[in-house]
């Protein structure tokens, strides 16, 4: 075989489920052809290639997968951050005009061009921190037409080759102007919005925010039922503040993921495990809102795969960097370094239903990171340093971000 590119003299962290643990291949090499991983193995056995990169004995990992973001929005809420830091309560902040409503106005007012440009800036920041696949939810317009507009802007921003963008329709809240007839609004979401989004292929899944102050369990059941009927995958924001029983609903529906889970019952954990639903941990938002930590030990014991995501949003987690979330997951949630790595690679890919990202095994997309360190633990250990630790990010076998560009011979 003659490969397009071989990265040699590397510690290749494959995250391949066919290998033990994180699937580390020490003194390894990886061969890329046609944008895919064509071979991984010992450096001594590497095939010939048109181009060769010497990794200098350092770490090569899959590109990171951010499986939960709200990256499309206008405006920011730095004032709320300051109020919260000064000890103001959620209700005081809401009374001062804070909360999701503070993002709704600027987002609705922004032009398509402005929204796409702001989203692209965040995608560039995510790529520089190693994210090669990113899920992006709508949800900051709330009207039927406006949510479709946000999904079209996501599609426009995602036309660039990197990172790979995965659009999700989020049933976030009942819009303030529809609170008086919320039943009719939910029906419109089910009967009009979801079928249109599916027909226009604007999203691959539907997410519902089922919690106190958001959609009820019955409303969530109707919305996710409509999503399944339209052929879309389902996921949910559940148990961030209160356990309404939505984790059980997601297990019953065979959801891709159940996200947040600060509040979740033992029975629901058992059902998530049986159904193979990924638990998405969002430690940035958890820490910023000073919420209790999800029951990581119980999720681990039950065998629920755990992913870690940024929850990038203007209210509770304005952060594009997954390595920072790995640090929070290991130091604050009690996850191991191995769990943190699987959480931003293979398990996050499972949460998106994308088997060809999140691992470096034969046939996977050649999305990978060259790191300026040797130990996988260094990435969460050197928190906040990801952009300086990363030497290059490849998507589909092509270097899309490099500092400086790696020397190819
Ligand atoms: Zn979220």
Distance in Å, CA 71 to ligand 1 centroid: 10
Q: Say how many Å lie between the CA of residue 141 and the centre of ligand 1.
A: 15
* Cα(240) to centroid(ligand 1), Å: 10
CA of 187 to the centre of ligand 1 (A): 23
Query: Which residue segments constitute the domains of the chain, with CATH numbers given?
Result: 2-62+360-402 (2.30.40.10), 65-351 (3.20.20.140)
C-alpha span between 341 and 310 (Å, rounded): 14
**How remote is the CA of residue 260 from the centroid of ligand 1, in Å?**
8
**How many Å apart are CA 192 and CA 202, to the nearest integer?**
14
Pairwise CA distance, residues 52 & 3, whole Å:
9
pLDDT at 3: 97
User: If you average pLDDT over every residue of the chain, what do you get?
Assistant: 96
**pLDDT tens per residue, range 233-243:** 999 999 999 99
pLDDT at position 95 over 90? no
pLDDT of residue 97: 84
Interval between CA 341 and ligand 1 midpoint (Å) = 20
Cα-to-centroid distance, 231 and ligand 1 (Å): 22
- Show Cβ contacts of residue 207 under 8 Å, excluding neighbours closer than 6 positions: 137, 139, 168, 169, 170, 171, 234, 235, 236, 237, 259
49 alpha carbon to ligand 1 midpoint, in Å? 43
Mode of pairing for the β-strands spanning 257-260 and 306-308: unpaired
Centre of ligand 1 from the C-alpha of residue 339, in Å: 21
Q: What is the CA radius of gyration of the chain?
A: 21
Tell me, in angstroms, the distance from the centre of ligand 1 to residue 9's CA. Answer: 39
3-class SS of residue 207:
strand
Which ranges of 280-355 would DSSP assign to H, the alpha helix? 283-288, 296-302, 322-331, 337-343, 346-351
Q: Which two tokens stand for residue 333?
A: 């949630």
Rounded distance from Cα 70 to ligand 1 centre (Å): 6
Whether the CB-CB separation of 13 and 59 falls below 8 Å is answered with yes
Q: What is the DSSP letter of 344?
A: T
Segment 256-300, tens digit of pLDDT = 999 999 999 999 999 999 999 999 999 999 999 899 999 999 999
Nearest Cα residue to 252 out of 229, 238, 268, 230: 268
Show the tokens assigned to 112: 């398509």
The CA 23 to ligand 1 mean position distance, Å, reads 30
Cα 69 to ligand 1 centroid, rounded to whole Å: 6
The pLDDT value recorded for residue 71 is: 98
Q: How far is the CA of 262 from the centre of ligand 1 (A)?
A: 13
Cα(101) to centroid(ligand 1), Å: 15
Distance 237 CA to ligand 1 centre (A): 6
Spacing, Cα 242 to ligand 1 middle (Å): 15
What's the 68 CA to ligand 1 centre distance in angstroms? Answer: 6
Closest CA to 383 of 310, 338, 331: 331
Check if the beta carbon of residue 219 is closer than 8 Å to that of residue 185.
no
What is the 108 CA–ligand 1 centroid distance (Å)? 19
Distance CA 149, CA 155 (A): 10
- Nearby residues for ligand 1 (ion, Cβ within 5 Å): 311
pLDDT at 405 over 60: no
Q: Find the 168 Cα to ligand 1 centroid distance in Å.
A: 11
Q: What is the DSSP string of 95-117?
A: HTT-STHHHHHHHHHS-HHHHHH
DSSP assignment, residue 267? Answer: H
Distance CA 170, CA 165 (A): 15
Entry field: residues in the chain: 409
The pLDDT of residue 230: 98
Confidence of residue 409 (pLDDT cuts 50, 70, 90): low
- pLDDT over 70 percentage in the chain: 99
- Span 17-59, pLDDT tens digits: 999 999 999 999 999 999 999 999 999 999 999 999 999 999 9
Q: What are phi and psi of 161, to 5 degrees?
A: -70, -20
0.85 exceeded by pTM: yes
Three-state SS at 253:
coil
> Strand 131-137 to strand 64-66: parallel, antiparallel, or no bridges (unpaired)?
parallel
pLDDT bucket at 1, cuts 50 / 70 / 90: confident
Ligand 1 centroid from CA 295, angstroms: 18
Separation of 173 CA from ligand 1 center, angstroms? Answer: 12
Distance 2 CA to ligand 1 centre (A): 44
Give residue 330 CA to ligand 1 midpoint distance, Å.
20
pLDDT by residue (tens digit) across 186-233?
A: 999 999 999 999 999 999 999 999 999 899 999 999 999 999 999 999
How many A from CA of 377 to the centre of ligand 1? Answer: 27
Strands 368-371 and 36-42: unpaired
Neighbour-count burial for 190-216, b at 16+ CB within 10 Å, e otherwise: beebbbbbbeeebbbbbbbbbbeebbe
123: pLDDT strictly greater than 90: yes
Quick one: what percent of the chain has pLDDT higher than 90?
A: 93
Q: Given this model, what pLDDT does residue 90 score?
A: 75
At residue 263's C-alpha, the angle toward residues 257 and 268, to 5°, is 55
CB atoms within 10 A of CB 301: 11
């Amino acid at each position: 075989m003659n490969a397009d590119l071989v990265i040699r003299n590397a510690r290749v962290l494959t995250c391949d489920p066919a290998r033990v643990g994180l699937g580390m291949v020490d003194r390894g090499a990886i061969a890329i052809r046609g944008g895919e991983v064509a071979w991984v193995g010992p450096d001594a056995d590497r095939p010939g290639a048109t181009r060769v990169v010497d990794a200098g004995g350092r770490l090569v990992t899959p590109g990171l997968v951010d499986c939960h973001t709200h990256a499309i929005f206008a405006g920011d809420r730095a004032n709320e951050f300051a109020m919260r830091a000064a000890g103001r309560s959620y209700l005081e902040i809401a009374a001062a005009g804070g909360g999701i409503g503070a993002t709704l106005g600027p987002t609705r007012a922004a032009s398509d061009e402005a929204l796409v440009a702001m989203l692209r800036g965040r995608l560039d920041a995510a790529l520089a921190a190693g994210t090669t696949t990113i899920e992006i939810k709508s949800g900051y317009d709330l009207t039927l037409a406006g949510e479709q507009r946000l999904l079209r802007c996501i599609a426009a921003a995602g036309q660039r080759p990197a990172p790979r963008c995965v659009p999700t329709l989020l049933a976030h809240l009942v819009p303030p102007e529809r609170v008086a007839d919320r039943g009719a609004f939910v029906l419109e979401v089910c009967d009009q919005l979801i079928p249109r989004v599916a027909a226009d292929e604007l999203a691959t899944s539907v997410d519902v925010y089922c919690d106190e102050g958001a959609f009820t369990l019955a409303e969530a059941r109707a919305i996710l039922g409509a999503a399944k009927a339209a052929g879309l995958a389902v996921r949910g924001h559940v148990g961030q503040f209160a356990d309404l029983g939505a984790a059980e609903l997601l297990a019953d529906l065979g959801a891709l993921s159940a996200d947040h889970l600060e509040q979740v019952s033992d029975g629901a954990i058992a059902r998530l495990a049986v159904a193979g639903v990924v638990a998405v941990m969002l430690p940035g938002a958890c820490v910023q809102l000073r919420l209790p930590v999800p029951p990581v030990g119980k999720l681990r014991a039950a065998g629920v795969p755990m992913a870690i995501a940024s929850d990038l949003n203007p209210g509770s987690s304005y952060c594009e960097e997954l390595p920072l979330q790995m640090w929070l997951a290991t130091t604050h949630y009690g996850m191991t370094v191995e769990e943190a790595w699987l959480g931003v690679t293979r398990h996050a890919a499972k949460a998106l239903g994308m088997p060809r990202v999140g691992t470096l095994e034969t046939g996977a997309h050649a999305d990978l990171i060259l790191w300026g360190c040797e130990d996988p633990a260094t990435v969460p250990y050197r928190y906040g340093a990801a952009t300086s630790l990363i030497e290059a990010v490849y998507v589909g076998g092509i270097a899309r971000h490099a500092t400086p560009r790696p020397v190819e011979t």
